[in-house]
Structure 1
Amino acid sequence: MASKFTEKHEITFYECDVRGRLTLPMLLNIVIKTSESQSDSFDRGTDYVTNLGLGWVITQHEITINRLPEVGEQVAVSTQASTYNKYFCYRDFWIHDKDGNECVKVNSTFVLMDLVTRKMTSVPEELIAPYECEKIKKIKRGMPLTVIEKGEERPYRVRFSDIDGNKHVNNARYLDWMVDSLEYDFLINHTPTFVNIRFDKEVAYGDTITSKSSLETVSETLNKMSCHQVILDETSCAVANIHWQ
């Protein structure tokens, strides 16, 4: 049985929006920090992985939101490396409030990238062994995404602060660009309930990307789904669907 790791976190003002609720990019940063803490506890942290000439890359997140924690809340952030196969590693995350209620669940897919060739590589057994997760043959397919055809477009230049240790854009920044493409009045009056985001291609420092979005009604209760795509030189770099109520 794979080991589960939990650490406490206080939601700070700079992690929240104007309503005092945790933002989607910060939500991702918080859960990924917990996976890094677990890896450090196994002596499988960034230095260990880098010394193998490798780096972790996230290919997809599926985020189910019961409610977004608010500024000042004490939450428990948990993670578990559930299963893996030759190339893909699957990890789950949870955020619970002080009463034990599940606020957020995240299902994530990771791969290892060769830092020289920038290509996906197989998972070394010595790297994954401490997590005690099950090895499977099956490749888990993420939920399908609705890809945008037409929509509003907004350009962004990739800044130095957007880049992470793998020298490409931090995953949370894509969500930042996507949510920022929506109107203020919409964001004030709607709350995300589910996010499905897939990362297709690296974006590097100095690139200018286009964040494209469209909004549609998906139910009789007037719930909305926003469709997003981050594009570089007509190439899709990330795709997301966000459900709102």
Structure 2
Amino acid sequence: MEHAAPQGIYSTQAAVRSYECGADGLMKPETVLHWFQEIAEAHASSLGFGYDFVMSRGLAWVEVRLDAAINRLPRWKETVELRTWTAQETPLLARRNLEIRDALGNSLVTASCLWAVIDVRRRRPVPLNRHIDSFPDTPCEKTVAPVSMDTSGLQPETREWTAERRDTDFNRHINNAAYLVWALEALPESWQEEHELTGMHLHFKKETHAGESMKSLLFLQESATCHHLMQGDELRAEAVLEWKTATSSANI
């Protein structure tokens, strides 16, 4: 079920499927990003400027930044509500806020992100009002503040891999959720067993394509990790993840 809720908020309900969860029975963090991408596109399409509209004009929506706060991740089989609303922030950027709520209306995940429209051929951003007549007048203030991490004096741990075709999306570049997976894969297993993710802050700098040789520089602190996702000496994306000490494992 999906509909445009009051005050310009677009909402839909969905149940968490088994393949969207990890061994703990909780939704994988990258699944949160996939869900957000889906409802963002559905809402944009309902407003007349979704995927089909921009692609017909040689354009594409690309996410520039995402900041998310996690109270808890949804569980397998849990039915939750996804909510989103959007507004133009600058001539080149649109802000989109998103939220996942449980059956009682409690906020599980809150996110605020920035999107741009690019010319597919030139790979450059274009002014939003050149192709989009108007955005909703829904208030869309930043709901999650960006977080940075001072890495001076910290020695990074390095991991290398090759970007794979399976992570390529409609825009013919590596999907943004893959950067989060890469960041999480760089963490020691013991770290992930002893900590719970409470915040995700991703800044996407430049596109990555399948076949490129990648490396991550991981900086660890007590309650945060910083991940520089590199191609050679070029920073493609930066992730700052916030953590708390794990309390107990979820039951499937």
Instruction: Give the structure-1-normalised TM-score.
Output: 0.89
- Give structure 1 stretches of 5+ with no counterpart: 137-141, 218-223
What is residue 250 of structure 2 aligned with on the other side?
none
Letter in 1 for 2:148: L
Determine if the alignment matches structure 1 residue 203 to structure 2 residue 208: yes
Contact 1:2–1:132, Cα closer than 8 Å, also in 2: no
Kindly indicate whether the alpha-carbon contact (under 8 Å) linking 2:97 and 2:113 is maintained by their aligned counterparts in 1.
yes
Give the match for residue 234 of structure 2: 235
Q: Equivalent of 1:92, from 88, 97, 114?
A: 97
- In the alignment, what sits opposite 2:224? 225
Per the alignment, in what secondary structure is the counterpart of residue 132 of structure 2? helix
- 1:28 aligned to 2:33? yes
Question: 1:192 is paired with a residue of what secondary structure?
Answer: strand
**Cα distance in 2 between the residues matched to 1:119 and 1:89:** 15
Runs of 4 or more consecutive aligned structure 1 residues displaced over 3 Å after TM superposition: 130-136, 147-150
Query: Matches of 2:89 and 2:29 in 1, distance apart?
Result: 26
- Match for 1:230: what amino acid? L
Shift of 1:157: 1.1
For residues 66-145 of structure 1, the aligned pairs below 5 Å read 66-124=71-129, 127=132, 129=134, 131-133=136-138, 143=146, 145=148
Q: Show the counterpart of 1:192.
A: 197
Q: Give the drift of 1:45.
A: 2.2
Amino acid at match of 2:233: E
Does the 8 Å CA contact 1:61/1:196 hold for their aligned counterparts? yes
Shift of 1:125: 5.7
Q: Following the alignment from structure 2 to structure 1, what is the Cα–Cα distance between the partners of residues 213 and 205? A: 16
Corresponding position: 1:19 with 2:24: yes
Once the two structures are TM-superposed, the CA of residue 132 in structure 1 deviates from its matched residue by 4.0
Match for residue 55 of structure 2 among 50, 62, 65? 50
Q: CA RMSD in A?
A: 2.4
Distance (whole Å) between structure 2 residues aligned to residue 134 and residue 164 of structure 1: 30
Question: How many residue pairs align between the two structures?
Answer: 237
Q: Deviations over 1:127-176 (max 9, x none)?
A: 2626345799xxxxx63522646311111211111111111110000000
Contact 2:173/2:207 (8 A) holds in 1: yes
Structure 2 unaligned regions, length at least 5 = 1-5, 245-252
User: What residue in structure 2 maps to residue 146 of structure 1?
Assistant: 149
- Deviation digits for residues 162-219 of structure 1, max 9, x if unmatched? 11111111000000000011111221221111111101111012111102212112xx
- Alignment CA distance shift 1:130-1:239 (3 Å): closer
Percent identity between matched residues is 24
How far is the alpha carbon of 1:2 from its aligned partner? 6.0
C-alpha contact (below 8 Å) 2:86/2:140 kept by paired residues: no
TM-score (normalised: structure 2): 0.87
C-alpha deviation, 1:12, in angstroms: 1.2
